[in-house]
Structure 1
Amino acid sequence: MIKQLKAGLAGIALCAASGIADASIDLRFAPLSQTADAIEIGLRISGLGDDALGTYDFNIQFDPTHLAFASVAFGDPFLGDELDVFDLGGNSVAADLLAPGVLNLFESSLDEPADLQALQADSFTLAIIRFNVLSSGSSELELLINSLADAGGDALSANTAPLTVNPVAAVPLPGMFWPMVAGFCVALKRLRV
């Protein structure tokens, strides 16, 4: 009985240690720009080390009362699409709203594993997501990993963290005609006195 318990504990320790190799991979949201009408968020991966990313499938949850999905641009703005290292444009990509407040992002590389391994950067932006701002207030973006695999198709694990954004909706300004008329009238009165 004690031998079985020790063997079980050793197995748990080995399983826990095997996950540590992938624990250095991080997936993070990075706010890029914000206006009163829209906000752009980058989804970055870092810490790939000796691994190369071959495919991913994520769900991004957001508050649909504050934000509305507008568009997505796959790839890094400076490095290009690192899952398409030769920029041939043949990758399978998708960005779909599954439900209000749930955006699914998917990309699968068609490049050879050796090419991804040799040419892919250790850290890069996977996609830039643009949301329209519907109303002011705090909104949390949460990343759920459906699948994440290396160039050979083996599963990877990664650390994730939510991001809280505080979009500020545009405040309608009053028409400028009447304030200008009022100011003009005050200036005329002062000139007459």
Structure 2
Amino acid sequence: MNSMFRRVWLLALLLSSATAANAALELSLGSRQSAAVLSVSIAISGLEAGIAPALSAYDLDLYFDASRLAYLDTVVGDGQLGDELDVFDAGNNLISASLSQPGRLNLFELSFDDPADLNALQADTFRLALVNFVVLQAGETTLDLTINALADADGEALSASPASLTVAAVPLPPSLVMMATGLMLLYTRRRERGRQPA
């Protein structure tokens, strides 16, 4: 994403003196968990379904302990509703999920949907993103979400509080990882043999 565009957008939002409604951001464990992968859901609530305010942009930083977790990937949007900042699934939004430094993941999305469409069609509670990590080291670890900016459909600031989540990270022992990989390879080969024509 063009960093100059992002800076201009942030400056314009921060200079906006009006503050719209309060929203709530929350971190929770995602539904897809394993001993090797930790999924963290970032969700927003406190909006009004079918009326203003709707969320049109966010710029967030997710802090994590890079000695315990390694960033894997980010899935933008809600698993059931889709991307609620792209209500017609046009794919025009500016989206970025990148490590700005070790242990700091920046998440950014800017909607190009019409404000009236966002206000009318966006849900009141939805997931913004699901962030996946590889567990490197066992133990309790804390993730902290900070807010650089949130904007409603008219580009005015939404207020919300930062969020935290403490989890117990438990990696798979290396011998179990190798055994699981071997079993998957055997299963794949058996399936391929079963598909060959007679």
TM-score (norm 2): 0.75
Structure 2 counterpart of 1:131: 133
Structure 1 counterpart of 2:117: 115
The offset of 1:138, in angstroms, is 1.1
- CA-based RMSD of the aligned residues comes to 1.9
TM-score (norm 1): 0.77
The letter of the residue matching 1:43 is: I
Q: Deviations over 1:77-133 (max 9, x none)?
A: 000000000001110000010111000000000100000000000000000100011
Q: Is the Cα contact below 8 Å between 2:57 and 2:111 reproduced in 1?
A: yes
The letter of the residue matching 2:26 is: R
Q: Deviations over 1:43-64 (max 9, x none)?
A: 0000112310000000000000
Report how many aligned residue pairs link the two structures. 157
Gaps of 5+ in 2: 1-17, 180-198
Pick the aligned partner of 1:29 from 7, 27, 30: 27
The offset of 1:173, in angstroms, is 4.2
Structure 2 counterpart of 1:46: 45
User: SS at the partner of 1:76?
Assistant: coil
- Paired with 2:153 and 2:60, the residues of 1 have a C-alpha distance of 17
- Paired with 2:173 and 2:97, the residues of 1 have a C-alpha distance of 30
Q: Deviations over 1:30-53 (max 9, x none)?
A: 201321211111100001123100
User: SS at the partner of 1:159?
Assistant: coil
Q: Does 1:68 align with 2:70?
A: yes
User: SS at the partner of 2:116?
Assistant: helix
Q: Is the Cα contact below 8 Å between 1:22 and 1:158 reproduced in 2?
A: no
Identity fraction in percent: 48
Q: Deviations over 1:163-185 (max 9, x none)?
A: 01111011244899xxxxxxxxx
User: SS at the partner of 1:162?
Assistant: strand
The letter of the residue matching 1:120 is: Q
Structure 2 counterpart of 1:146: 148
Gaps of 5+ in 1: 1-17, 177-193
Structure 1 counterpart of 2:90: 88
Moved runs in structure 1, 4+ residues, more than 3 A? 172-176
Pick the aligned partner of 1:59 from 50, 61, 67: 61
The letter of the residue matching 2:85 is: L
- Paired with 2:175 and 2:90, the residues of 1 have a C-alpha distance of 47
The letter of the residue matching 1:28 is: E
- Paired with 1:153 and 1:87, the residues of 2 have a C-alpha distance of 20
